[in-house]
Amino acid sequence: MKYYIVTSKVFETLNKENIDYALSSIDNSKNIVVTSDTIDSALSTFTNASGLSTYTFNNHTDWVGDNTGITEEEIADVKYISGL
């Protein structure tokens, strides 16, 4: 899997069938995406779930807003379902 942060505009163009995990930022301007696809226009790229998780804890106001972040377990266990 590949781990990205993309703009909401880029997210709309992605093949949703290949997305394993996705989360919109609090202001809906960015999305975290875990996918099998390669995204060339990503804002940020991470080599693994640990790096992505650390990023969300360091930038929690963008993602969860409660001084926490998204754990590796959440990234691994919560599956994206297109259309919800």
Contacts of 30 (CB under 8 A, 6+ apart): 5, 6, 7, 8, 24, 43, 62
pLDDT digits (tens, 9 = 90+) for 41-61: 999 999 999 999 999 999 999
Strand pairing report for 30-35 and 44-46: unpaired
**Beta strand ranges found along 1-77 (DSSP E):** 2-7, 19-24, 30-35, 44-46
pLDDT digits (tens, 9 = 90+) for 59-74: 999 998 888 999 999 9
